[in-house]
Chain A
């Protein structure tokens, strides 16, 4: 049980570290938009085109330019 003398103070240190990280996240504005990021991750730029051969020439230019 002696290990508790180390573990309990250690848990306090961890809580403090987590609290600091959290406060930093609040300060850097990560909680301003609670919905957007959840959707944004599904809408990445590297989505494969479904029907590439049917793309118009104009679009293909756009795609390769990027």
Chain B
């Protein structure tokens, strides 16, 4: 994501002609690679593909019709600079293009009412953009939107991947805007920004204001403090000194009462509940130092701590701000869950007497109504099939990689996708009663059970406060007896030097530095504790589909009985042209672009297809459909077999299955070397799971598990004392992800899984996870060093202050140096290289 932009002009012009190659976008592609890599998406161009993109007068290869269309649209709209500017490759756009027909739904007033602000013909909506990988994507989308007649304004936020679009409804429809974004290969859908978003924005702006005030105050107060420390005795007149103190007081006051206000609020809340969190020592330190400094300013004594106070507040606020930004990202992922349920549905009000169709918002559906769901559309609610025969992709909810066949009286789940032919469904459950909502609730509960770690930190803080107060009280008591005139100032200096500055910074700075490094590795942390727990994890649990495997079918093996391999594949491609089944897509992908054409195609949902090629009839489908037993023993367990036959019998068997991710084996080996136990829990068929576990050498592998089973298995591990790290994707994994002490969601999985996860692997290289574990362990070492240092500092500083040896400038210097040391030590983490 943060690839440097190519700035050398020579390299740039080279990069303009050659597309960035996958996995290594920082160096220009070699000419040999560009022959076979798609100009738009960088994927390998299948042998025999005839797609091309005309770029600067030359034909460039494209891997599929989707890339060709997208590339041509981008260039024809005058945005060919995109190919020079981009620093990362987009996804292959084919899948996105299938959803085109659903876009018209977004023009309906009742659908728009939830997310569009309108004033006459002027409309404004917030869109979530999918597929943004680098800054050039933002540039391309903005320019493309501005070129549309009727679009009045379009801003895209690079950090959140959201766009705010204003348009004139009399000149352009929302569906046209969404479609034109799809034309250039991105996916846009509107969302209801709602109150939550507004609340977040306000909270963030307040945090920035507090940080700014503290920063400005800190810098200027330091300016006044330094001369006072440096000046030799007697060189500074007392009225100049007083002037500087009053100036410091004026600047420190807003820092204490505005910037540090949340600490006082937090401390007050804690005290009311008779407990002590980290806010209590912070508030105590700031409050004591500030009060004593005011007193010092007015009576003209030597002791003021304004510099220490402002610096302390600034450092702490910086830590909190970074933490807040990370939290916000996780909340954004949660919102994406809504997207699973379509915005509108095709209602059949007169069913079964009339088949009149009517578009309505999905929220308006009630139980008992009938809806029509075309192929490629998702179900708007839970229901029961009353007409039709099709297969449904439920992988998002169940993790099952094979589509499930649905016929009359089968139940369907809202959010899953109908693949083959239209279904009429009687709506049974809507809104909060649906399975999807149930999973969300399960997720909420598991999330609510979590923050045990936060309590531990608070308990430490409570001890710290108690010890500190005891020390301060005894110091005050003893000095009162020894020298009553010094007792007050010495007690204050104890409170100030012991300010848990290094203590409060030790952990957050190390975590923030490590998180920054992790993000650059492609592993995004959404919760503060994730890294810590990852370092301590003893058991890694993996989901199969989409995590260790690609989650997509591909051709693994092929048995040729008669004929020649390439032409048989070409036949299969011709027969499957236009089928939406994932097995069909896998065959098409394996065959690439061919020459044969099939006609008289007839699809038998769930079984196969028949068609005519060059006058001869062929059948392609499941073994039962072909009418011959496949040579099972020749293939791995757990592959799906598809046969191709003509009138004389079987021609070939295709073994299709879920292929391993490229780095899965490396990851498993590295994790084993790190000494963690490995488990594989999957909802897929047991034989598929066992097969994969054998390949990778994972001993504990279980298949056929429902989300509840996985949850129970993880609980069992936890009861035996394991710290579980769960890696998965799919909504079905969401509750397990939340149950595990630390969870990692894998990219290309469902957004909802990311919402429940503590970490999200944005990179498609799953091997980065092992780097993440190593970094997490290194972070623990740095945190321990930091904590050791701050304890060491306190052991020296508190007794010194108690004896009366610490003057304010020493306190200030000691605090800054110890903070600096802690921060610099933490920064080492951001430079650790990837293996």
Whether A12 pairs with B80 at a CB distance below 8 angstroms is no
Flag if A11 contacts B247 (CB, 8 Å): yes
Which of chain A's residues have a CB closer than 8 A to the CB of B158?
33, 35-36, 39-40
Interface size class of B (residues with CB under 8 A): 35 or more
Let me know if A55 and B57 touch, CB within 8 A: yes
Chain A, range 34-48, C-beta contacts under 8 Å to B: 34-36, 39-40, 42-43, 45, 47
Asked if A31 contacts B205 (CB within 8 A), the reply is yes
B216 touches A18 (CB 8 A): yes
The answer to whether A59 and B159 have CB atoms under 8 Å apart is no
From B13, B135, B250, give the contact of A50 (CB < 8 A). B13
- 1/0 per residue, CB under 8 A from A, across B46-57: the answer is 000000001011
Q: Is B666 an interface residue (CB 8 A)?
A: no
Measured CA separation A39–B137 after assembly (Å): 11
| Residue contact B56 to A54, C-beta cutoff 8 Å | yes
Contact across chains for B16 and A36 when beta carbons are under 8 A apart: no
Contact of B57 among A4, A22, A42, A54 (CB under 8 A): A54
Known contacts being A1-B240, A33-B158, A33-B159, is A12 close to B247, with CB within 8 Å? Answer: yes
Instruction: Report Cα–Cα, A15/B158, bound state, in Å.
Output: 31
- Asked if A12 and B250 make an inter-chain contact with CB atoms under 8 angstroms apart, the answer reads yes
User: B84 contacts which of A12, A31, A50, A66 (Cβ < 8 Å)?
Assistant: A50
Q: Which residues of B contact A56 (CB under 8 A)?
A: 54, 56-57, 75
Q: State whether B75 touches A35 (Cβ < 8 A).
A: no
Give the residue of A9, A19, A36, A45 whose beta carbon is less than 8 angstroms from that of B138. Answer: A36
Q: Which of A23, A35, A49 has the most CB of B within 10 A?
A: A35
Closest residue of chain B to A11, judged by CB?
A: B220
Set of chain A residues within 8 Å of B85, measured between Cβ atoms: 42-43, 47
Q: Does B459 contact A (CB under 8 A)?
A: no
Q: Is B632 part of the contact surface with A, judged by Cβ < 8 Å?
A: no
A49 to B13, CA, bound (A): 10
Query: Of A19, A32, A33, A59, which one neighbours B75 at CB under 8 angstroms?
Result: A59
B137: shortest Cβ distance to chain A, in Å?
10
Whether the Cβ atoms of A1 and B138 lie closer than 8 Å is no
Q: State the total of A-B contacts with C-beta under 8 angstroms.
A: 104
CB A4 to nearest CB in B, in angstroms, measures 6
Residues in B neighbouring A34, C-beta threshold 8 A: 159
- In the complex, the chain B residue whose C-beta lies closest to that of A9 is B247
Beyond A4-B240, A19-B212, A42-B135, whether A51 also contacts B56 by CB under 8 A is: yes
Partner pick for A36 among B57, B143, B159, B204, CB 8 A cutoff:
B159
A44 CB to nearest B CB, Å = 9
Do B136 and A43 touch (CB < 8 A)?
yes
**Given known A35-B159, A39-B135, contact A11–B216 (CB-CB < 8 A):** no
Contact A23 B209 (CB under 8 A): yes
Q: Which residue of A lies closest to B1 (CB)?
A: A35
In this complex, what residue of B is CB-closest to A19?
B216
The size of the chain A interface, using a CB distance under 8 A, is: 37
Across the interface, which residues of B come within 8 angstroms of A54, CB to CB?
A: 56-58
Q: Is the CB of A26 within 8 A of B208?
A: yes
Inter-subunit contact A55/B216 (CB<8 Å) = no
Check if A43 sits within 8 Å of B216, measured CB to CB.
no
Task: Decide: A59 near B243, CB < 8 A? Known: A35-B159, A36-B158, A50-B16.
Answer: no
Contact with B along A48-64 (1 / 0, CB 8 A): 01110011101100110
Q: Which residues of A contact B157 (CB under 8 A)?
A: 32-33, 36
Are B156 and A36 closer than 8 Å at their CB atoms? yes
Distance in angstroms from B343 CB to nearest chain A CB is 26
A21, chain B: closest CB distance, angstroms: 10
**Bound-state Cα–Cα, A25 to B58, Å:** 47
Also in contact, A1 and B237, with CB within 8 A (given A8-B243, A8-B247)? yes
Contact flag A63-B78 (CB < 8 Å), given A43-B139, A50-B16? yes
Chain A residues closer than 8 Å to B240, beta-carbon distance: 1, 4-5
How many whole Å from B218's CB to the nearest CB in chain A?
11
Chain B residues near A58 (CB, 8 Å)?
76
**For B204, what are the chain A residues with a Cβ–Cβ distance below 8 Å?**
31
Give residues 44-84 of B contacting A (CB, 8 Å): 54, 56-58, 75-78, 80-81, 84
A-B contact pairs, 24 of them (CB 8 A): A8-B243, A8-B244, A11-B223, A15-B217, A19-B213, A23-B209, A26-B212, A27-B205, A32-B157, A33-B157, A35-B158, A36-B156, A36-B159, A39-B135, A39-B139, A43-B81, A43-B85, A43-B135, A43-B136, A43-B139, A47-B85, A49-B81, A50-B56, A56-B75
Residues of B within 8 A of A (CB): 5, 12-13, 16, 54, 56-58, 75-78, 80-81, 84-85, 135-136, 138-139, 143, 156-160, 201, 204-205, 208-209, 212-213, 216-217, 220, 223-224, 237, 240, 243-244, 247, 250-251
